Amino acid sequence: MSEKIRTQRIDVWLWHARFYKTRSLASKMVRGGKVRLNGNLCKKSSSVVLPGDILTYIRVDDIYIAKVLDIGTRRGPAPEAQLLYEDLTPPKVIHKDQPREMSIIREKGLGRPTKADRRAIDRLMDRDL
């Protein structure tokens, strides 16, 4: 008796592995060309995923790479979902010459007007309060 090879639709697998919040979003990303299966652009949600496949996908403007280790049976908790794949995404390199993202310190009077500024604007515009 031969062992049946387990396969799963790519949108269902992405949803089970918790890469996308909803299955419809996963399907939309696949159809939109945001997912590659083994280096090839995947345009159909019905594409089949096997253990050993490499997925490259976009989420929140970042590119991720994952190797499929197992086929999911349900969308369970995150620790269970992490057993379905191996993260192959290279770590982000921060160069010393790159400026770091710093919190913006707003000087008084810049940005959103204060209440006093709004009242002064209303007086200039002759608005009745």
Residue 117 lies in a domain: no
Q: Is residue 108 part of a domain?
A: no
The reply to whether 93 falls in a domain is no
**What domain range includes position 69?**
8-87
Q: Whole-number mean pLDDT of the chain? A: 83
Instruction: Please report whether residue 129 resides in a domain.
Output: no
- The reported pLDDT for the residue numbered 1 is 45
Question: Which H or E element spans position 49?
Answer: strand 48-49
Sign of CA dihedral 69, 57, 23, 31: negative
Give the per-residue pLDDT at 53. Answer: 92
64-90 per-position pLDDT tens digit:
999 999 998 899 899 999 999 999 988
Please check whether residue 15 lies inside any domain of the structure: yes
Lowest mean per-residue pLDDT among 8-12, 87-91, 109-113:
109-113
Q: Does 14 map to a domain? A: yes
Count how many domains the chain has: 1
Per-residue pLDDT tens over the stretch 50-66: 999 999 988 777 889 99
Q: What token pair was written down for 59?
A: 């989420």
Residue 51's pLDDT is: 92
Query: What is the CATH classification number for the domain harbouring 49?
Result: 3.10.290.10
pTM equals 0.68
Q: Domain for residue 19, yes or no?
A: yes
